[in-house]
Amino acid sequence: MNILKNRKVHKAFLWVILVLAVGVLLYSVWALVNQIEGLRLQGIRPMHFRRMHFRPANGQLTPDQIRSWMTFKYINVAFNLPQDFLQATLKITDKQYPNLTIDSLAKEQKQTSAAVLQKVTLAVQSYIYPAR
C-alpha cells in the first residue's frame, strides 16, 4: 500500500511541476510580447525591421532617400517604375534582377556602392522629373 501511495504522490508532484513550467513559459511569452509592443509604440524597432519597412517621415519616398540595401524590385514599386526601366537604363544583365540590391550590383560591377547608388538615383530622377 505504501508503494502505491508514493506513486500517486510522485505522479501528482510531476503534474504540479508541469503546470508550473507551462505557466512560467506562458508568462514569459506574454512579457516578451508586451515589451516588444512597448518598444514599437515608442518608435523603436530592431534594425532588420527598420530596413524591411523603410518609411520616410513624410510618407513619400524621394530619389535622394534610395539606399544601397534596397532591391531594384523595391525601387520599382516605390516609384511606380516599369519593371525593366532600371535594367535597361543601367544595362543590368544579372539574372537576379529585380531581386538584386544596389550593393550586390556594385560588387558585381566592381564599383563602389556610392557610384552605383548615384546612377540609380539619377535614373529614377530622370524618370520622375523628365526634362521639359
DSSP state of 65: G
| Ramachandran quadrant class, 30 (left: phi over 0; alpha: psi -120 to 50; beta: rest) | alpha
Range of the domain at 26: 2-44
Q: Are residues 78 and 36 in the same domain?
A: no
**Same structural domain for residues 22 and 74?**
no
Mean pLDDT of the chain: 82
pLDDT digit string, tens, across residues 38-97: 776 766 655 454 444 555 555 677 888 899 899 999 998 888 899 999 999 999 998 989
50 lies in some domain: no
**Looking at the structure, do residues 27 and 87 belong to the same domain, yes or no?**
no
Q: Which residues pair with 71 in a beta bridge?
A: 101
Judge if pTM exceeds 0.75: no
Quick one: 18 and 79 in the same domain?
no
Record the cell numbers describing residue 38, joined without a space: 512597448
Q: How many domains does the chain have?
A: 2
* Residues 59 and 36 placed together within one structural domain of the fold: no
